[in-house]
Amino acid sequence: MGFCSVEDINTFLGTTILPDDAQALLAIEEATAVIKNYCNQDIEQVSDDVILLDGTGSTKLFLPNLPVTSITSVEVDGVLLDPNYYALAENGVLWRKYGTWTVGACNIEITYTHGYAAIPEDVKGVCYRSASRLYQAQLKALRQDFVSGLQSVSVGDWSETYENAGSSSGESDKGVSAARTLLMSEKDVLNKYRYKRL
């Protein structure tokens, strides 16, 4: 599921893209994937996700997707652990109340629910701004017939001139691939959602 909709792009750009427009949907999909990648998080809610973690021999484990809303079960070396023997703390830390997490490779299986039931508005905003840039870059490349550095097009008595993109050393003449997926200001917004291990 994308973190924004085509309607969000329409509102942002003041345009009327159809809800099933393949290019707009692809732009949303790409922007969503880049946000997830940058944050190292799913962000959207995932119910009963099953993960395997290495036992560290310490009293705490770090669950990789936040926020954690519930723990369904914990198994250590194939044995179901009584819920009274562990506790969920802030920032996805799972504490072992008595003893430590047994050392091992992928020996702890955790089933848990994590993420946001509704995508936070600031994440949604980053997504529709990023998707809008990608969509506009696709349209520009299409209008220029995917020819890098094209300045104008003429057919009969009709012509269209494009803004000078600068020297060939810049990104702006490289077509769709040059559209910046995330701006620094957008990364600043997303930083609070990035996975940070204590």
Instruction: Read off the pLDDT of residues 63-102 as tens digits, 9 standing for 90 and up.
Output: 999 999 999 999 999 999 999 999 999 889 999 999 999 9
Q: Are 193 and 41 in contact (CB under 8 A)?
A: yes
pLDDT band at 177 (very low <50, low <70, confident <90, very high): low
Q: How many CB atoms lie within 10 A of CB 119?
A: 20
The backbone torsions φ and ψ at residue 83, rounded to the nearest 5 degrees and listed phi first, read: -60, -20
Residue 164 is classified by DSSP as P
Lowest-confidence region among 8-22, 30-44, 154-168? 154-168
Would the pLDDT of 10 be above 60?
yes
Whole-model pTM? 0.79
Alpha helices in 40-180 (DSSP H): 121-143
- Residue 195: partners with Cβ closer than 8 Å, 6 or more residues away: 39, 40, 41, 64, 65, 66
Would the pLDDT of 41 be above 80?
yes
Q: How many CB atoms lie within 10 A of CB 36?
A: 16
For residues 37 and 161, what is the distance between their CA atoms, to the nearest angstrom? 37
- Residue 96: partners with Cβ closer than 8 Å, 6 or more residues away: 59, 60, 61, 85, 86
> How confident is the model over 173-188, as a mean pLDDT?
75
For residues 66 and 64, what is the distance between their CA atoms, to the nearest angstrom? 7
pLDDT for 151 equals 60
pLDDT for 163 equals 58
Q: State the average pLDDT for the chain.
A: 87
pLDDT band at 30 (very low <50, low <70, confident <90, very high): very high
pLDDT for 147 equals 52
